[in-house]
Amino acid sequence: MEGESVTAQESGIGSEGIAIKVSEYTENRLTKVNKRRTLRSMETKRLNLARIEEAMRVHGLNAAAVASSLGVSRTIVTEWLKGRKCPRARNLLDLGKLLELPHSDIVLEASPVEPIIAFRKHGNAKLRPEDEDRARAMGRAAALLVPYFPFGRLNSPARLINPSISAPYIEEAAAETRASIRAIDMEIRFQDIIGLFSSLKTVLVPVLWGEKESLDNALHIYLPDSQTSLVYVNLDTKLFDFKYWMLHELAHIKTIGAFSGKESEVFADAFAAAVLVPKALAESEGNRIRRLTAMGSKLSSLLKLAETLIVSPITLAKRIDEESIQNGNGEVIGKAIFGATTNFNKKYRLVSEILLGEANPDAKSLISVSTTVFGSPIYSAIHAYIADHAPSEGIISACLGVGPADAKAILNAFRNQ
């Protein structure tokens, strides 16, 4: 497994209790009633954060200025702008007056079902509350784009039938996936993997999150109401890892709702490895490498095969060892592989360098690669949404999880098309 993963969690909605100095029984009852009211309120309305942030920018206001004008704390305004809480009716009215926005521009009718999120993290990186808040906000913004995606509204995406974490099931699912690609040789190209998402109501969103600066390999956002998935894939990843994580996400999408907890990750890890290194190959190559006497020779042979397949040597060694153990022959490589991958890793450039060059790419180049290489409708959907509404950097920032400068660059790229 290339990295530790964090399983998807359905979001919860926070609520505020009422502090009233009455009997404990009455206080508890009133608190529970208020919680139910708060939940119902937040299920039916949400702030249009993209529109509000754009209006704040136009008026030159930050969170502190809004808080001062409305007579509330800066903390509560920050909670509003992060989508964690919704203002009370009076504050909504005052906010509209301050930003010169009608109520319909400030409040969105929200779905009672929140986006479901799943991060694929580097190593042992921990998932922070702010990561979850950011991802859910991205999902709520992306839901606005669903009418602009080229998917049938009444069609359900293809799923695996009765998925199981049993080895025979995973091997069969992987074999069917390889057959659908019709690969001419044993290597699975990342272009082949991209094509597998076409029937799954999935929007691929290529992003530049950095190789080391970011902790994310990928982010999967599932919108239950429309059964639409968005997979944010980090292009600042080595090619062999990129293929692995793409297949990992494919497994999650094809099994949504089938597993709980760690089983989902077990299936996705095993599926990705089995597609990249088919069972027959792992068995035949394991037999060949086992006949070599010195561990150095075994490692050298395995690394050459990994280079031919463009897969992680760790993934390849694990697959070979699993098949060998299953056949009663014991490990072929074992832990020796972990100290032998440094030079292999240096041979490969990042996917962003392959597709966009080594210089810092501009917004126009990223939009072009996203559309032509990945077949992604994300930018055309955002562009269409902006055409139907007031031009706004807010929706770009909210959907893509980028800062104001990057959102402005993308908006300018749209204007220059």
pLDDT digits (tens, 9 = 90+) for 18-63: 333 333 333 343 333 333 333 333 344 678 887 888 888 888 999 9
Task: Look at residue 33 in the predicted model and tell me its pLDDT.
Answer: 36
Task: Look at residue 3 in the predicted model and tell me its pLDDT.
Answer: 42
Task: Tell me the domain boundaries of the chain.
Answer: 9-108, 279-340
Instruction: Convert the chain into a string of H (helix), E (strand) and C (coil).
Output: CCCCECCCEECCCCCCCCCCCCCHHHHHHHHHHHHHHHHHHHHHCEECHHHHHHHHHHHCCCHHHHHHHHCCCHHHHHHHHCCCCCCCHHHHHHHHHHHCCCHHHHEECCCCCCCEEEEEECCCCCCCHHHHHHHHHHHHHHHCCHHHCCCCCCCCCCCCCCCCCCHHHHHHHHHHHHHHHCCCCCCCCHHHHHHCCCCCCEEEEEECCCCCCCCEEEEEEEECCCCEEEEEEECCCEHHHHHHHHHHHHHHHHCCCCCCCHHHHHHHHHHHHHHHCCHHHHHHHHHHHHCCCCHHHHHHHHHHHHHHHCCCHHHHHHHHHHHHHHCCCCCCCHHHHHHCCHHHHHCCCEHHHHHHCCCCCCHHHHHHHHHHCCCCCHHHHHHHHHHHCCCCHHHHHHHHCCCHHHHHHHHHHHHCC
Model confidence at 14: pLDDT above 80: no
pLDDT tens digits along 87-122: 888 888 889 889 998 887 888 765 557 888 887 665
Task: Look at residue 181 in the predicted model and tell me its pLDDT.
Answer: 85
9-108: CATH number: 1.10.260.40
Average pLDDT value for residue range 246-275: 91
Model confidence at 417: pLDDT above 80: no
Banded model confidence at residue 15, pLDDT cuts 50, 70, 90: very low
Average confidence score pLDDT of the chain: 83
pTM of structure: 0.73
pLDDT tens digits along 354-407: 999 977 889 999 999 999 999 999 999 999 999 988 777 888 988 998 888 899
